[in-house]
């Protein structure tokens, strides 16, 4: 009798579980059942009115649902897909967005939707904003992830990545990198657009960033217009004799053509640029602060006079895996390595990329170096019409532990109230000028 009772109870419980499972599968939407992943946002066009959403689609015909509310009432479809590095990369180019607005989005197929995320467009007025500039995220994932988690806490308007995302740009490396990029998403679902620079570790395929991020100019140089600021991205790998792999093989046939075309574009674009702030991002420094790194012969000769003549205030460099600020500099062939300090009209150079790449000794300071160091870091810049406030955010190194999760995240409400707000307990580099380097306009 007791045995029969146990049997009956077991039978009833099993039936109940089966009924519940069936009910869930037929009536509830299968949210978060993985049919797409590796989400990323990219600014390839006007940051005030556009956004490119990219992801990896496993199966089904995806639709992007988006809009100004969580109901995401607008729909669009991928504008382009690429099969590349083991992924089916989908790109939806959203247009005609409102300025300084929150847009919610999710990727759905007939039965499945991703979680709902959101992004912000750039302001069309003089409202201040923060952005992160860093690069060289290759090789050591535990360092790279520390930086990614910090992005989620800081809530930058965008991230200017200076190149060398992975070591060799292989399928395995890019899949891992894009999975780890998901850790930049804030707790409330906010995601942040990348502005991409091509580094030498992308040289195995000259069009790597076009295929993975839909960067429209396959030579990866462009200008992005914010309301009071121009952000230029340049490609140092087009410089004859400095690249390798795919870039070198192409240069053999047309040695200076692509480099000269970029310089001509830079000159002509700067000549008509009337924005109060002109900032550049590119991979290899003109004058690396690492002895073993070759000097940028043509970068210096072709670019530095243009920077000075047209009032570029800030150049963000990467590649050496160390840290530096310079004084504002003017090109002068009698100065040390071709530069002298010019506090009125000079260009300040900051860098040099260490978002998880092996740190290197800062063994090549010049008389015009303001300060340098060796640790994992990126730059956090508060941009306003009157000034740029530059901070270097540290996240340890190979030997120094650092817990990014210990940083108290900025809330969206705090940022909406004060666009200059940053988290309070970041580990900031205390350089010779203190924790903030200010450039005044
Ligand atoms: Fe590099």
**In whole angstroms, what is the distance from residue 55 CA to residue 41 CA?**
9
| pLDDT tens by residue, 107-157 | 999 889 999 999 999 999 999 999 999 999 998 999 999 999 999 999 999
Distance (angstroms) between ligand 1 centre and the Cα of 96 equals: 36
Distance (angstroms) between ligand 1 centre and the Cα of 153 equals: 27
Q: Does domain 129-440 have CATH number 3.60.21.10?
A: yes
| Protein residues near ligand 1, an ion, with CB under 5 A | 164, 199-200, 319
The ranges assigned to domains in the chain are: 1-29, 32-120, 129-440
pLDDT at 210 over 80: yes
Distance (angstroms) between ligand 1 centre and the Cα of 431 equals: 24
pLDDT recorded at residue 383: 98
Count of CB atoms within 10 A of residue 251's CB? Answer: 22
**In whole angstroms, what is the distance from residue 225 CA to residue 223 CA?**
7
Distance (angstroms) between ligand 1 centre and the Cα of 292 equals: 13
pLDDT at 313 over 50: yes
Residue 334 φ/ψ, nearest 5 degrees? -90, -10
| pLDDT tens by residue, 58-112 | 988 999 999 999 999 999 999 999 999 999 999 999 999 999 999 999 999 988 9
Distance (angstroms) between ligand 1 centre and the Cα of 128 equals: 31
Distance (angstroms) between ligand 1 centre and the Cα of 165 equals: 9
pLDDT recorded at residue 107: 97
Distance (angstroms) between ligand 1 centre and the Cα of 20 equals: 55
Distance (angstroms) between ligand 1 centre and the Cα of 319 equals: 4
Q: Mean pLDDT across the stretch 200-206?
A: 94
Distance (angstroms) between ligand 1 centre and the Cα of 29 equals: 45
pLDDT at 252 over 70: no
Distance (angstroms) between ligand 1 centre and the Cα of 283 equals: 6
Q: Mean pLDDT across the stretch 216-237?
A: 97
Spatial contact of 372 and 322, defined as CB atoms under 8 Å apart? yes
Distance (angstroms) between ligand 1 centre and the Cα of 139 equals: 12
Cα 265 to Cα 61, 255, 261, 279, 347, distances in angstroms: 39, 17, 6, 16, 20
Distance (angstroms) between ligand 1 centre and the Cα of 318 equals: 7
pLDDT recorded at residue 23: 40
**In whole angstroms, what is the distance from residue 381 CA to residue 437 CA?**
9
Distance (angstroms) between ligand 1 centre and the Cα of 359 equals: 12
Cα 421 to Cα 125, 378, 389, 439, distances in angstroms: 18, 17, 12, 18
User: Is the sign of the CA dihedral 306, 308, 309, 313 positive or negative?
Assistant: positive
Binning pLDDT at 50, 70 and 90, where does residue 34 land? low
pTM (two decimals): 0.91
Distance (angstroms) between ligand 1 centre and the Cα of 39 equals: 25
pLDDT recorded at residue 245: 78
Q: Mean pLDDT across the stretch 309-328?
A: 98
Distance (angstroms) between ligand 1 centre and the Cα of 184 equals: 23
Mean pLDDT of the chain: 92
Distance (angstroms) between ligand 1 centre and the Cα of 201 equals: 6
Distance (angstroms) between ligand 1 centre and the Cα of 236 equals: 10
Q: Does domain 32-120 have CATH number 2.60.40.380?
A: yes
pLDDT recorded at residue 18: 45
Distance (angstroms) between ligand 1 centre and the Cα of 410 equals: 32
Count of CB atoms within 10 A of residue 65's CB? Answer: 18
Helix or strand (DSSP H, E) at 64: strand 63-67
């Amino acid at each position: 009798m007791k045995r029969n009772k146990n049997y009956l109870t077991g039978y009833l419980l099993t039936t109940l579980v089966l009924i519940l499972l069936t009910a869930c599968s037929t009536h509830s939407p299968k949210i978060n059942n993985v049919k797409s992943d590796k989400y990323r946002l990219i600014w390839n066009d006007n940051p005030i009115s556009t956004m490119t959403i990219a992801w990896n689609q496993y199966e089904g015909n995806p639709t992007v649902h988006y809009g100004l509310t969580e109901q995401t009432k607008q729909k669009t479809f991928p504008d382009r897909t690429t099969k590349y590095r083991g992924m089916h990369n989908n790109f939806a180019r959203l247009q005609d967005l409102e300025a300084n607005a929150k847009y919610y989005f999710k990727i759905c197929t007939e039965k499945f939707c991703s979680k709902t995320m959101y992004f912000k467009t750039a302001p069309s007025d003089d409202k201040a904003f923060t952005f992160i500039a860093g690069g060289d995220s290759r090789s050591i994932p535990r360092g790279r992830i520390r930086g990614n988690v910090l992005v989620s806490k800081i809530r930058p308007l965008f991230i200017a990545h200076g190149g060398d995302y992975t070591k060799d740009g292989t399928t395995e490396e890019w899949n891992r990198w894009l999975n780890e990029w998901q850790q930049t998403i804030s707790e409330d679902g906010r995601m942040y657009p990348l502005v991409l620079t091509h580094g030498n570790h992308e040289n195995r395929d000259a069009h790597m960033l076009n295929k993975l991020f839909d960067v429209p100019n396959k030579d990866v140089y462009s200008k992005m217009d914010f309301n009071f600021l121009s952000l230029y991205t340049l490609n140092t790998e087009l410089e004859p004799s400095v690249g390798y792999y795919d870039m070198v093989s192409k240069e053999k046939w047309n040695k200076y053509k692509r480099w000269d075309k970029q310089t001509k574009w830079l000159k002509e674009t700067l000549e008509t640029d009337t924005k109060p702030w002109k900032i550049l991002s590119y991979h290899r420094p003109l004058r690396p602060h690492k002895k073993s790194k070759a000097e940028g012969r043509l970068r210096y000769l072709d670019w530095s006079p243009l920077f000075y003549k047209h009032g570029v205030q800030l150049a963000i460099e990467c590649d050496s895996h160390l840290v530096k600020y310079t004084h504002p500099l003017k090109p002068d062939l009698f100065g040390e390595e071709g530069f002298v300090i010019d506090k009125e009209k000079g260009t300040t150079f900051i860098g040099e990329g260490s978002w998880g790449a092996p740190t290197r000794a800062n063994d090549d300071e010049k008389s015009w170096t303001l300060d340098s160091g060796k640790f994992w870091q990126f730059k956090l810049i508060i941009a306003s019409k009157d000034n740029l406030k530059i901070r270097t955010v540290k996240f340890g190194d190979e030997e120094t532990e650092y817990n990014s999760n210990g940083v108290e995240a900025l809330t969206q409400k705090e940022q909406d109230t004060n666009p200059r707000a940053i988290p309070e307990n970041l580990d900031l580099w205390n350089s010779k000028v203190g924790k903030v380097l200010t450039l005044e306009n």
